[in-house]
Copies of this chain bind each other. A is one copy, B any other.
Amino acid sequence: MSAEQNIIFCRDHHDHQSCMATAIAKAEQVCESRNQRFTKLRKRIFELVWQQHKPIRAYDILDQLQQDGRAAPPTVYRALDFLMDLGLIHRIESMNAFVGCNNPQQKHEGQFFICNDCGAFVELDSTSINSAISISAEHSGFEIQQRTIEITGICPECKGKKKSQ
């Protein structure tokens, strides 16, 4: 992912089955390489996060889980914490929600562009955004630990729809 790459909003148009299969394969790899267990439950919750290509909230995950049987909040939050620690998902702070990560092999925090209309999002890790921030920080000797960058607005598709109305 670089600053120059176009943003592509992942929507209904693509083969989401294979999209998810890839994500799961990557997740399995990451877990294995770090000696962590991608248990049935963790996989299930990971799938629920990926399912919609939109940020999903913890209690929406819980609702889905409860269709399979009883479940309680800690079950969801523990799995989410695990997945976040491994970088398999990210938390969107401004929405109290979670999204799947496309590039979990590389440690990163990501920048999120999220459509206020349809909920679709993309994750970037733009060098130019990162370095603009780093430069600001260096000016004063601030040592960066965490970057939360969440941009909301209207995605190209939704903008198109609005115009044609």
Contact = CB atoms under 8 A, between A and B. Distances in A.
Interface of A: 3-9, 93-94, 111, 113, 115-116, 122, 124, 126, 128-129, 131-133, 135-137, 139-156, 159
A1 to B, nearest CB: 10
B156 A133 contact: no
B140 A7 contact: yes
Given A126-B132, A129-B136, A135-B128, A146 B152 contact: yes
A148 B94 contact: yes
Given A129-B132, A132-B3, A93 B148 contact: yes
A137 B94 contact: no
Contacts of A159: 141, 143
